[in-house]
Amino acid sequence: MSFLAPLFLVALAGLAVPVVIHLIQRERRQVVVFPSLMFVRRVPYQSVQRRRIRHWALLLARLGVLALIVVAFARPFVRGGSSAAGPAGAREVVILLDQSYSMAFGDCWARAQAAARDAIDALGPADRGSLVLFAERAAVSLRSTSDRDRLRAAVAAAAPAAGATRFSPALQVAGSILADSPLPRREVVLVSDFQRSGWRGAGTARLPAGAALTPVLVSSDPNARNAAIVAASLARSTFAGQERITITAGVVNRSARALAEVAATLEIDGRAVQTARIALDAGGSGSVAFDPVTVGRQPMRATVRLPADALEPDNAFHLVLRPPAPVEAVVLEREGAPETSSLYLVRALSISDDPRIDVTRRTGGTLSDEDLRRASVVIVNDAPVSAGLAPRLRRFVESGGGLFMVLGPRASWPPEQPLLPFAPGPPVDRSRGDAARLGAIEYGHPVFELFRAPRSGDFSAARFFGYRGLSTPAAAPAAAGTASDVLARFDSGAPALVARAAGRGRVLMWASTLDLTWSDLPLKPIFLPFLHRAVRYLSAYVTPPPWSTVGQVVDPSRVRAESGEPRLAVTPSGRSVPLDDEGSDVLELEEPGFYEIRGQPTDQRPDVVAVNVDARESDLTAMDGRELAASATGSAGASGSAGAVADVTPDAQERAQRTWWYLLWAGLALLGVESMLAARASRTT
């Protein structure tokens, strides 16, 4: 028997009030002055008994009324024990054991295993148990077995993983196990440290109706030393022609006591190179900046490490310091073009920072296969493309390159090569009258997305005195198999910029020039960002993240298997994971550290992915397990410790809590009896 509102029981002290009043209070009756009590005193009257209780039944009735009402308001309910009040029958018990890395804190894991064993020991002969280990994801370790020894062995074999806590997948797995179970009673025992960060998404996970959830909280000493590196930032700079990276790490003190000196060590390729110290208040945070590190030509593995404490996995933060990866762009000019024909274009591209663009100028005759192999983007700047060059460019695009066709008065494309979305048409002269301006622009496209916000660039300021009309080639788009998008149009409605995907590459057609021949666009502020965005789009440039988080997946297909060797990934613990060459699979990052992805050409070092644990998990702030239980079961009744299984089905809960209703009615009935007793007593006295 427990109470939902036990504070109301304090009112039971009010039971003493009538008794105390009776004992200490004089009878406050109307005083009648009488000449002499000589005769009154002689009457054998029980005046000496006036301090004694004469109407025991009345007093008890009143005390009973008070007690019943108070207890009713305290909302008593019967907690269903595992064998007492619950419905009879075998149980299907799912033990959810949190194996997130925060369970390695102090002695949490040992206590969690003990709690799981307790739940296993509580299984009856007809009961069946399942063990689900969960962190970021949930995995069924043992499903619905009555073999308790196997369950115990599975618990003993489990160990904390590197993932962060998430309750939602675990509850869904438990729900599916319970839903499949034919046993009448379904229970979930959730053993966890109940970090609040694990709650995300758990609000929607529901157990089947009638299932009970018992949260078992395991926690350790909050005063234990626990510092964590939660983030790092990389600042790139160039010094003496070499790129340098300054690493700044964010350190948080998760413990309840201040840490006077925390030594943070920076390791490069496994070698400690720098140490910085920081003092942290209780619950405070700070940042540690290391001296700049010069980046070589190959990716470097950097690790910021804190001294060992109660929670180990969050003491190391791994990074990959990559050399700069410029986009190789080839500007293709016509033979005999003046030096200034690509002046604006080349200057604009060469000052790009993110990504850096290395520009190579070629003519149609000097463009070699090696140029194409190295290049990511080819910009045909108002140059005629010969019938021999077009197929090479087409192959270049279909293998993943980007082609930017800038259509000046001299540009041409052999119509038999179906690569361009439109065939260049005759020039349109707008030098007389109003110059053409850009009208409709597809701001949703990556090229123009930067200018989407108001006052982020005015394309209508540029004037176009001439452009090439574009006409749809008869069979080209259909042959290419993909549609084309008109990203911008002149005010006459003619297409100005057209995009098209071809194979793995992309094609952009600009209907005017990128110098001052036909427009003043190079003089406008939008010219640089527009050109940079266009090249970035064409090269499909993606900034590789310096680190990933456990639980994320990476697409290893970005590693080109040009060497023909079988590709494989080596985990930080040294395990080899073969990668499917089809490119359809993903590599799941399960451990903190550095993953190597091998299979590159022999002259390159293996690609490296730095993986860190989820920093949110290092925050050990716990939530109320009953809150989770209430959300998962849809009721607020489940609570308790290990082994105590609450019956929280709505019907059972209603049954268990209905007592207060009866008590209230009993109190009212007793009140009626009290009224009758009081009336009778007042008549007789």
- Whose Cβ is closer to other proteins: residue 42's or residue 271's? 42
User: Shortest gap between Cβ of 37 and other proteins (angstroms)?
Assistant: 4
Nearest one of 214, 133, 130, 137 to 176, comparing CA atoms = 130
Within 273-428, residue ranges assigned H as helices are 343-350, 369-374, 389-398
Tokens 């024990």 belong to which residue? 81
- Whose Cβ is closer to other proteins: residue 34's or residue 56's? 34
- Whose Cβ is closer to other proteins: residue 36's or residue 543's? 36
User: Shortest gap between Cβ of 65 and other proteins (angstroms)?
Assistant: 24
Report 431-450 residues binding other proteins (CB under 8 A): none
- Whose Cβ is closer to other proteins: residue 543's or residue 685's? 685
**Six-digit token pair at 233?**
């930032």
**Region binding other proteins by CB under 8 A among candidate stretches 23-31, 307-315, 348-356, 532-540:** 23-31
- For residue 182, report the phi and psi dihedrals to the nearest 5 degrees: -85, -5
- Whose Cβ is closer to other proteins: residue 53's or residue 475's? 53
Report 171-200 residues binding other proteins (CB under 8 A): none
User: Shortest gap between Cβ of 639 and other proteins (angstroms)?
Assistant: 54
Q: In this structure, are strands 91-98 and 185-192 parallel, antiparallel, or unpaired? A: parallel
Q: If residue 579 lies in a helix (H) or strand (E), which one and from where to where?
A: none
x/- map, 594-623, other proteins, by CB under 8 A: ------------------------------
- Whose Cβ is closer to other proteins: residue 50's or residue 347's? 50
User: Shortest gap between Cβ of 667 and other proteins (angstroms)?
Assistant: 29
Report the half-sphere exposure of 433 (CA within 13 A, side-chain side).
6
- Whose Cβ is closer to other proteins: residue 33's or residue 308's? 33
User: Shortest gap between Cβ of 32 and other proteins (angstroms)?
Assistant: 5
Report 33-52 residues binding other proteins (CB under 8 A): 33-45, 47, 50
- Whose Cβ is closer to other proteins: residue 238's or residue 684's? 684
**Six-digit token pair at 356?**
């850096």
- Whose Cβ is closer to other proteins: residue 29's or residue 432's? 29
Q: Does 56 bind other proteins (CB under 8 A)?
A: no
**Region binding other proteins by CB under 8 A among candidate stretches 13-21, 25-33, 116-124, 368-376:** 25-33
User: Shortest gap between Cβ of 681 and other proteins (angstroms)?
Assistant: 11
User: Shortest gap between Cβ of 23 and other proteins (angstroms)?
Assistant: 16
- Whose Cβ is closer to other proteins: residue 29's or residue 455's? 29
User: Shortest gap between Cβ of 39 and other proteins (angstroms)?
Assistant: 4
User: Shortest gap between Cβ of 672 and other proteins (angstroms)?
Assistant: 24
Tokens 């399942």 belong to which residue? 130
Nearest one of 521, 524, 502 to 510, comparing CA atoms = 521
> CA 546 to CA 480: how far, in whole Å?
37
- Whose Cβ is closer to other proteins: residue 30's or residue 602's? 30
512-522: b or e for each residue (b if 16 or more CB lie within 10 Å)? bbbbeebbebb
**Region binding other proteins by CB under 8 A among candidate stretches 31-39, 77-85, 365-373, 472-480:** 31-39
**Residue of 13, 32, 260, 308 that binds other proteins (CB under 8 A):** 32
- CA–CA–CA angle 662, 664, 667 (5° rounding): 110
- For residue 99, report the phi and psi dihedrals to the nearest 5 degrees: -120, 30
> CA 203 to CA 209: how far, in whole Å?
16
Q: Does 29 bind other proteins (CB under 8 A)?
A: yes
Q: Does 239 bind other proteins (CB under 8 A)?
A: no
Quote the longest CA-to-CA distance of the chain.
146
> CA 280 to CA 151: how far, in whole Å?
43
- CA–CA–CA angle 174, 176, 178 (5° rounding): 70
Beta carbons of 628 and 202 less than 8 angstroms apart: yes
- Whose Cβ is closer to other proteins: residue 45's or residue 665's? 45
User: Shortest gap between Cβ of 17 and other proteins (angstroms)?
Assistant: 22
3-state secondary structure of 14: helix
Report 66-95 residues binding other proteins (CB under 8 A): none
- Whose Cβ is closer to other proteins: residue 584's or residue 685's? 685
Q: List CB contacts of 337: < 8 A, sequence separation 6 or more.
A: 363, 382, 383
Neighbour tally for 54: CB within 10 Å: 12
Beta carbons of 611 and 164 less than 8 angstroms apart: no
- Whose Cβ is closer to other proteins: residue 35's or residue 574's? 35
- Whose Cβ is closer to other proteins: residue 13's or residue 33's? 33
Burial (CB count within 10 angstroms: exposed 0-12, middle 13-18, buried 19+), residue 369: exposed
**Six-digit token pair at 381?**
């700047």
3-state secondary structure of 625: helix
Rg (CA), the chain: 40
> CA 93 to CA 214: how far, in whole Å?
10
> CA 405 to CA 499: how far, in whole Å?
10
**Six-digit token pair at 416?**
């038999």
User: Shortest gap between Cβ of 60 and other proteins (angstroms)?
Assistant: 23
DSSP code, position 642: T
User: Shortest gap between Cβ of 25 and other proteins (angstroms)?
Assistant: 13
Beta carbons of 634 and 623 less than 8 angstroms apart: no
User: Shortest gap between Cβ of 33 and other proteins (angstroms)?
Assistant: 5
User: Shortest gap between Cβ of 51 and other proteins (angstroms)?
Assistant: 11
- Whose Cβ is closer to other proteins: residue 39's or residue 239's? 39
**Region binding other proteins by CB under 8 A among candidate stretches 24-32, 129-137, 229-237, 579-587:** 24-32
User: Shortest gap between Cβ of 18 and other proteins (angstroms)?
Assistant: 18
User: Shortest gap between Cβ of 63 and other proteins (angstroms)?
Assistant: 23
User: Shortest gap between Cβ of 74 and other proteins (angstroms)?
Assistant: 38
Beta carbons of 352 and 532 less than 8 angstroms apart: yes
Tokens 């234990």 belong to which residue? 224
3-state secondary structure of 562: coil
- Whose Cβ is closer to other proteins: residue 16's or residue 23's? 23
> CA 499 to CA 487: how far, in whole Å?
7
Q: Does 31 bind other proteins (CB under 8 A)?
A: yes
What is the total count of residues that contact other proteins (CB under 8 A)?
21
**Six-digit token pair at 47?**
């005046």
> CA 300 to CA 306: how far, in whole Å?
20
Residues in contact with other proteins by the rule CB under 8 A: 27, 29-45, 47, 50, 685
